[in-house]
Amino acid sequence: MTNYTEFYRRSIEEPDAFWAEQASLIDWKEPFEKVLDYDSPPFARWFVGGVTNLCHNAIDRHIANRADQTALIWVSTETGQEETYSFSDLHAEVQTMAAIILSLGVKKGDRVLIYMPMIPQSVFAMLACSRIGAVHSVVFGGFASSSLASRIEDAKPKLIISADAGCRAGKVIPYKPLLDEALEHVSTRPAKVLIVDRGLAAPSMCEDRDESYTSLRREFLGATVPCEWLESSSPSYTLYTSGTTGTPKAVQRETGGYAVALAASMKHIFCGSPGETFFATSDIGWVVGHSYIVYGPLMAGMGTLLYEGLPTRPDPGIWWRLVEKYKVTAMFSSPTAIRVMKQHENESLFEADLSSLRSLYLAGEPLDAPTGKWIHDALRKPIIDNYWQTESGWPILAVANGVERMNSKFGSPGLPMYGFAVRLIDNETGEQITVPNRKGILIIDGPLPPGCIQTIADDDERFVRTYWSEIHGRYVYSTFDWGVRDEDGYYFILGRADDVINVAGHRLGTREIEESISGHPNVAEVAVVGVSDSLKGQVAVAFITAKDRSAVATGDGASAQKREILKLVERDLGGIARPARVLFVPALPKTRSGKLLRRTIQAICEGREPGNVATIEDPTVLEAIAEAVTAT
Ligand code: AMP
């Protein structure tokens, strides 16, 4: 086995040779001429001139050797359905979907927005887009009409693919009305909408615009659609993520570099082999879903398990029974899901035979040491905390057990992964922090390795402005996360340095929630902050000043308005953005220049010292905030 230190060193000091080797893990139609073009930093082009296709690497390349092996397993504990598709079945379904998409006028380079629940057709749709060179943009199905509308407005898709409904905790959530509402609020509408009718909530169809997947599937069954070969830098997809502003950013990824990065991570980090089963419990609407439900495992020739439902329904043992049934070898989940399980701890929780499982990977939010220890003791398998972002597409910090077996440390996502030149810098001076255990901002020296954000779609300038700064003549990428590194080189993540919050592993922009709340007629000003929570990591808490104070002066009046506000957020953004608490306060703390002090509010909520109150225009405001927080 190779030594990881040497493996990592080569990736940073000899990137051309290192990545050329990794590139042999995928199929290329035409070889690349140059490994890296970094002539106009911070823009990096990997595998220049190489020609490939993601769908080919995920499906077609396996047809010769494992056509009959399982590629996709779908389990819905919501509807009680369970389906299995071999590579050959998936090949056929994806070609049918590709033929449908082409018939609806989509061409190479066009964008297709996918607003879908966790059903096989969502995976077919993503792979079909990749197959024909269309750029998919999946919007998380839990988002409601405003979030959806802003993403449609930005993406300007040629086609939207959606479904009649999703299902959560036994409750049907109709998607089509949310989509129709969103479409009323956008300036450019797609010519076509493709609807997968699951038979859950009869969708009303708009003549000339809406098409039925069921009818078109009948028409195109058995279609042959060849892969569109793409130059390595051609965009494969965009995926929206939240930032400091209310406008979500469309993270755009390339094709060849992403394929190489995923294939390499499946080998070095996730240690997956053909014929095995991978189970990522995320959603296709998030980056983990893209990389490790859909593309990564399939590229590795593994079966991938797509799960619709809760971790606790019909009971908290469900995921472990699926591990047993489908002989899952690697599982990927979130700390919140494990904390939820921990709440339901009982003897029957881990009754299933887990002998197939080699490791459990957890990401998306900090894994607190007690939760890490609890699940480790329960499973007696390596628990691999890994840190990354929508922007990176694959882990920045982890342990690469496929390269060299290394110990994890509870509370730490581990070491920098190959290709990521990770450092900590002082937030004020930009100087590198070299001493162990001193807090700094986690940055990555450019170029980012293959598979990472290529740009923000249609907005190169925003990409550079948002993420990059030039320090001592070198472009550095900011993760916006605080971190520390210990004497062994292991990193610990201490939370975001911007206004992004992380609720149950879902990244949310506080500004988006504030904008929705501002839509209430009695809201004068609002500040939303993330407050630490023992189950979800963080929850959103909204502080509001009312225009008409008398309306919220009584308990009943305030409760009625809080309900209206929560409904508004749910309608606009979806249940995941719903604040855990809404508090009316007389005023919000601001600096003398009028800047809202969210961090001060957050400190009060978490019982910490609010810091430098001298900059605050009126320090007495803080007392009222503290009072509101402690009053129930
Ligand atoms: P997202 O883009 O939604 O994947 O969110 C990325 C953010 O989630 C990161 O910037 C971190 O703040 C947080 N995050 C992801 N993985 C971890 C982890 N293993 N430990 C701590 N924080 C994490």
Domain extents in the chain: 87-223, 504-631
Calculate how far, in angstroms, residue 439's C-alpha sits from the geometric centre of ligand 1.
17
- Mean pLDDT rounded to a whole number for the chain: 94
Which residue's CA lies nearest to atom 11 of ligand 1?
365
Average pLDDT of the residues in 20-46? 98
At residue 632, the pLDDT reads 63
Residue type, 592: R
Check pLDDT > 90 for residue 591. Answer: no
Q: Does the fold of domain 504-631 match that of domain 87-223?
A: no
Calculate how far, in angstroms, residue 440's C-alpha sits from the geometric centre of ligand 1.
16
Calculate how far, in angstroms, residue 395's C-alpha sits from the geometric centre of ligand 1.
10
Structural tokens at position 177: 């009305």
Which residue's CA lies nearest to atom 23 of ligand 1?
365
Which residue's CA lies nearest to atom 9 of ligand 1?
389
Average pLDDT of the residues in 157-170? 97
| Topology adopted by domain 87-223 | Rossmann fold (3.40.50)
Which residue's CA lies nearest to atom 1 of ligand 1?
389
Ligand 1 mutation pick, 239, 288, 339, 481, max ligand atoms within 8 A of CB: 481
Ligand 1 mutation pick, 507, 510, 532, max ligand atoms within 8 A of CB: 507
At residue 348, the pLDDT reads 80
Ligand 1 mutation pick, 239, 365, 385, max ligand atoms within 8 A of CB: 365
Calculate how far, in angstroms, residue 67's C-alpha sits from the geometric centre of ligand 1.
36
Structural tokens at position 454: 């290529």
Among residues 165, 164, 103, which one has the least CA distance to residue 134?
103
Average pLDDT of the residues in 142-154? 93
Calculate how far, in angstroms, residue 629's C-alpha sits from the geometric centre of ligand 1.
27
Q: Which atom of ligand 1 is nearest to the CA of 506?
A: 3
d(CA 588, CA 594): 10
Calculate how far, in angstroms, residue 17's C-alpha sits from the geometric centre of ligand 1.
30
Which residue's CA lies nearest to atom 5 of ligand 1?
389
At residue 136, the pLDDT reads 98
Report residue 345's pLDDT band, with 50, 70 and 90 as the boundaries.
confident
Which residue's CA lies nearest to atom 7 of ligand 1?
389
Q: Are strands 277-280 and 303-308 parallel, antiparallel or unpaired?
A: parallel
* 112 within 8 A of 161, measured Cβ to Cβ: yes
Ligand 1 mutation pick, 138, 338, 367, 388, max ligand atoms within 8 A of CB: 388
Q: Which residues line ligand 1 (CB under 6 A)?
A: 241, 287, 363-366, 385-390, 413, 479, 481, 493, 496, 502, 507
Calculate how far, in angstroms, residue 503's C-alpha sits from the geometric centre of ligand 1.
11
Question: Which pTM does this prediction carry?
Answer: 0.93
For the chain, the straight-line distance linking the first and the last C-alpha, in angstroms and rounded, comes to 58
Average pLDDT of the residues in 159-163? 98
| Topology adopted by domain 504-631 | GMP Synthetase; Chain A, domain 3 (3.30.300)
Among residues 474, 467, 416, 479, which one has the least CA distance to residue 443?
479
* 307 within 8 A of 277, measured Cβ to Cβ: no
Among residues 220, 198, 222, 210, which one has the least CA distance to residue 100?
220
Which residue's CA lies nearest to atom 6 of ligand 1?
389
Q: Which residues of 401-416 are buried (b: 16+ CB within 10 A; e: fewer)?
A: bbbbebebbebbbbbb
Which residue's CA lies nearest to atom 13 of ligand 1?
365
At residue 248, the pLDDT reads 84
Average pLDDT of the residues in 390-407? 96
Calculate how far, in angstroms, residue 547's C-alpha sits from the geometric centre of ligand 1.
37
Residue position matching structure tokens 């840190």: 387
Average pLDDT of the residues in 52-75? 98
At residue 327, the pLDDT reads 98
Question: How large a percentage of the chain has pLDDT more than 90?
Answer: 85
Calculate how far, in angstroms, residue 100's C-alpha sits from the geometric centre of ligand 1.
36
Calculate how far, in angstroms, residue 544's C-alpha sits from the geometric centre of ligand 1.
28
Average pLDDT of the residues in 85-90? 98
Which residue's CA lies nearest to atom 21 of ligand 1?
366
Q: Where are the beta strands (DSSP E) in 145-289?
A: 159-163, 165-168, 171-174, 192-196, 210-212, 230-231, 235-241, 249-254, 277-280
Calculate how far, in angstroms, residue 389's C-alpha sits from the geometric centre of ligand 1.
5
At residue 611, the pLDDT reads 73
Q: Which atom of ligand 1 is nearest to the CA of 391?
A: 2
Task: Give residue-wise pLDDT tens across range 94-128.
Answer: 999 999 999 999 999 999 999 999 999 999 999 99
Calculate how far, in angstroms, residue 539's C-alpha sits from the geometric centre of ligand 1.
15
Ligand 1 mutation pick, 244, 284, 362, 387, max ligand atoms within 8 A of CB: 387
Residue type, 456: I
Task: Give residue-wise pLDDT tens across range 272-293.
Answer: 999 999 999 999 999 999 999 9
At residue 612, the pLDDT reads 67
Average pLDDT of the residues in 465-479? 94
Which residue's CA lies nearest to atom 3 of ligand 1?
507
DSSP string, 273-337: -TT-EEEE-S-TTSHHHIIIIIIHHHHTT-EEEEEES-TTSS-TTHHHHHHHHTTEEEEEE-HHH
At residue 614, the pLDDT reads 67
At residue 390, the pLDDT reads 96
At residue 127, the pLDDT reads 98
At residue 426, the pLDDT reads 94
Task: Give residue-wise pLDDT tens across range 208-223.
Answer: 999 999 999 999 999 9
Calculate how far, in angstroms, residue 387's C-alpha sits from the geometric centre of ligand 1.
6
User: To the nearest 10°, the Cα dihedral for 563, 569, 570, 574?
Assistant: -160
Check pLDDT > 90 for residue 596. Answer: no
Tell how far CA 168 is from the center of its chain.
19
C-alpha dihedral sign at 148, 153, 155, 160: positive
Average pLDDT of the residues in 205-210? 96
At residue 65, the pLDDT reads 95
